[in-house]
Structures are given as C-alpha cells and as structure tokens.
Amino acid sequence: MLERYFQPESLMMTHGYKPELSEGAIKCPIFQTSTFVFKNAEEGKAFFQVAYGKREKEPNEELGLIYSRLNNPDLQILEERLCLWDKADECAVFESGMSAISTVMLEFLRPGDMMLYSMPVYGGTDHFINKVLPQYNIQGVGFTSDQTTEEILDHIQSLGLSDKVKMVYVETPANPTNALFDLSVCRIVADRLSYGEKEVVVCVDNTYMGPLWQNPLQLGVDLVVYSATKYIGGHSDLIAGAVLGKTKYMKRVRTLRTFLGNMAGPWTGWLLMRSLETLKVRMTQQAKNALEVADFLKNHPKVEKVYYLGHLQEGDPQYIIFKKQHTCAGAMLSFDIKGGEKEAFLFLNNLKLIKLAVSLGSTESLAEHPATMTHLDVSEEDRKRLGISERLVRLSIGVEHYSDIIWDISQALDKV
C-alpha cells in the first residue's frame, strides 16, 4: 500500500486520538479527572515501573494512565500534535510559557553555572535570569544580534567564565524590534564551550514565530520553548506553554515537570487542541495582513521607521539570516512614530478596532508601547542600545480584514 506523509495541518483534527476509546466521540473529550482506574494490581505495577524509569517501555506499549500530574489524554494527544509542526521527538505542555522556560533553566543549570542569553528577551524571562537565578548562584551574560561568534566567545573568556557556561538561550526574532539572531552562531558558540562530559545546550524561545514560520530544531538547536498563550492558543483566552526537543532532553524536562507539578490542566489541553485545528489558517491570514499593514506604514508621513522582517533588503546581513531561518515574515511588527511618547500615546488612545493590550499572536489585532509597558523593566541604557525608544509602537496583527486594520491605523495617525 502506498504510504502518504500528511502535512501537519491535515492531522490536527485526528492525530493521536482513538474514538473507540471514547464511545466513538469524534472529538477528544475533556478528561476532567485527577486519577485513572487500573484494571488490576499487576497493571498498576507495570504502569508505575515505566513512569518511574524502573524499566523501558515494550516496543508497542503505550504509557499507562496513572494520575493527571504525570499524564492525561488531553495533554498527551496535544503533545503528539505539537511535535508534528517542529518535527520534535517529544513535547511537554506547561501551565504557562514562563513555567516552560523556568523549568528548562532549572533542569539544565546548577549553582555555579552560567548561561548566555540573547538581548532583549521577554520581560518575564529577563526577570527570571537576572533576579531569580542569581539567588541560586546561576549567572546570565547577555549578547546582542550584532556580535560575532568570536566577539561572544572573547567576552566570556575575558570574564573567566568559559568553563561555567551550560546553556545558550535565544529569542529570535527579538521582541519588539524583530532583530534576528543567527542560530548557527549560537550552535557554534555552544559547541566551542562544550568538552568531555560538559554539554552546552541551545534553547530557543520560538513564540514570536510560532511553530509555522521557524523550526529551530531543524536548524541544530536542542530545545524549543513556547508561550502557547500566543499563536498556538491564538484566541487570547488561555495561558499555557510548551517545550519540545529530543527524547534525551525531554525526559529530564518531563521529570522535573512531574515534580514541580506545573503541567497544564485537561481543560487548557482541550482548548489548545481546538486551537491547533486552525493554527495554519489563522497564522497564514495574520501574516498576509501584516504585509499589507507594513507596506501602508512604510509610506506614511507620520511614521519614521518600520521594523518588519518582510522589508529586509538583500545585502543586509539580517536578510541572510531571515532567508536561512524563516519561511515567512510573520505577523509582528513595530514602528517609530514621528515625535515621542506623547505622539505614540495619542496614536494608541485613538485606535477604535485594534485593542490596546500586551500579548500577541491572537485573532484580534493588538497594539502597545514597549518602552512604558512590556519593556519598562529594561534599563534605560539597554533600551537605547536595543532601539526601544519612546517613539516605538508594537503591533500584533490579527485575522480581521486588512483594510479595516489599515483604516484604524490611518485614522489614529491622523489624530496625532
């Protein structure tokens, strides 16, 4: 029989779910249950042996259901579906993006270790790296997208920290300016700092591009984290996170999740499965709309500069990274309005359709002011260096008709 490789979007409605185990229901029910009944004591023993790593699974054995902190059908099926987009061996879903990120850091870093991280990173991640981890004697050192491999390595060497690096953590494109980091540079830096037993893992926060437009596991990184609150959830109605990667790393992540107890609940798992059915159509439309909006802004007399990946020009080193790492320019953009905070606020306060809110990747378009909102905690010096000025406005483009989004932006700019 001819085998066919189905595209992920063709499998989002059915993959991993067996109707015969749920009274024939076409949709996976919400398994709102804390615990699962064993057929007999022998089965309970067999399930626990696998769960606690006392024996490996038999070739065709499925992980037995024990207790919802360890596994639950809604999470398990969701995790299998998420694996398809990133071509990952395994996935673990968390109750938030921050719990996914903090669990990965706690699993791969120990007191005395150091991590290299791209700047700027998401505010919560920045806080965890710079305010929480130092209390456990774990240090973070930042690097920017314009630094070369040698510059990053020289800097670490000059600090006398080369032996301590255990993780390279990258967020690309950077929020809110869309600055791109070359993942092959991150890989080389990690490999140059690895020796013997000491392995430096590379972890990418892929939230900004969702699982559709950039697949870091295919570009040589070890782990991918998501705030599933954003594109994966996509409807501004839940908080969740995910980690994906090779089995050898995911076993460790999953075990720590079991004992921190920060897995997502069945209801969130079910909502995310529903969201995944439309992931491709939503994101595709959002990206189309973003292109129209970016082109409109580029030619507007009240706009100084637009930060949009689709406007990168050949010859720009950023363009080369874009072509290498992305299949699409995405649906996040930002722009410098002429003037300062006053003009930016006038624009934001006059929007009628686009909502003034943080977060991103949802069906509705959102606008915010990074310098006084999402990036308020970034030091003034770093804000300057990273281009997060008082003039900067960030937009997350939704699925509305693009002409309505543009009309709204246009009328709000007229009031400035």
Ligand X SMILES: *Cc1c(COP(=O)(O)O)cnc(C)c1O
Q: Which residues bind ligand X (CB under 6 A)?
A: 96-98, 122, 124-125, 171, 175, 205, 207-208, 227, 229-230, 239, 241
- Min dist CB 236 to ligand X, Å, is 12
CA separation for the pair 212, 227 (Å, rounded): 14
Q: What tokens were used for 359?
A: 């977060």
In sequence order, the 6+-apart residues with CB closer than 8 A to the CB of 146 are none
**Taking the C-alpha atoms of 17, 21, 25 and 30 in order, what is their torsion angle to the nearest 10 degrees?**
-70
Q: What is the Cα–Cα distance from 167 to 154, expressed in whole angstroms?
A: 17
Shortest distance in whole angstroms from residue 71 CB to ligand X = 21
Q: How far is the CB of 174 from ligand X (least distance, A)?
A: 9
Q: In what order do the strands lie in the sheet with 392-396?
A: 303-307, 332-337, 392-396, 366-368, 355-356
Which one, 71 or 207, has the nearer CB to ligand X?
207
DSSP string, 80-103: HHHHHHHT-SEEEEESSHHHHHHH
**Shortest approach of ligand X to residue 227 CB, angstroms?**
3
Residue 101 CB, nearest distance to ligand X (Å)? 6
Per the listing, tokens 């406005």 go with 393
Residue nearest to ligand X (CB): 97
Measured from the CB atom, the residue of 125 and 215 that comes closer to ligand X is: 125
Report how far residue 186's alpha carbon sits from residue 200's, in angstroms, rounded to the nearest whole number. Answer: 10
Q: What residues are paired with 205 via a beta bridge?
A: 171, 225
Dihedral-angle region of residue 34 (phi above 0 means left; psi in -120 to 50 means alpha; beta otherwise): alpha
Q: What is the token pair recorded at 307? A: 């930060």
Q: Which is nearer to ligand X, 145 or 229 (CB)?
A: 229
CA distances from 202 to 99, 108, 372, 387 (A): 18, 10, 31, 26
- Supply the angle between the helices 402-414 and 341-349 in degrees, to the nearest 10: 130
Nearer to ligand X among residue 233 and residue 387 (C-beta): 233
Q: How far is the CB of 184 from ligand X (least distance, A)?
A: 21
Taking alpha carbons only, the member of 164, 159, 103, 116 closest to residue 137 is 164
Return the structure tokens found at 385. 């260096």
Which among 208, 212, 241, 238 is positioned nearest to 334, based on CA atoms? Answer: 208
Residue 389 CB contacts under 8 Å (≥ 6 apart), including other chains: 336, 340, 371, 383
Q: Closer to ligand X at the Cβ: 336 or 368?
A: 368
Q: Which is nearer to ligand X, 227 or 318 (CB)?
A: 227
**Smallest distance, ligand X to C-beta of residue 410, A:** 27
* Smaller CB separation from ligand X, 232 or 412: 232
Minimum CB distance to ligand X smaller for 16 or for 265: 265
Phi-psi region of 110 (alpha: psi -120 to 50; beta: other; left: phi over 0): beta
Give yes or no for a contact between 234 and 279, defined as CB atoms under 8 angstroms apart. yes
Element (H, E) at 204: strand 201-205
Which pairing describes strands 90-94 and 114-118: parallel, antiparallel, or unpaired? unpaired
Closest approach of ligand X to the CB of residue 70, in Å: 22
Closest CB to ligand X among residues 122, 296:
122
- Identify which of residues 116 and 412 has a Cβ nearer to ligand X in the complex: 116
Min separation Cβ 52 and ligand X, Å: 29
CB of 108 to ligand X, least distance (A): 17
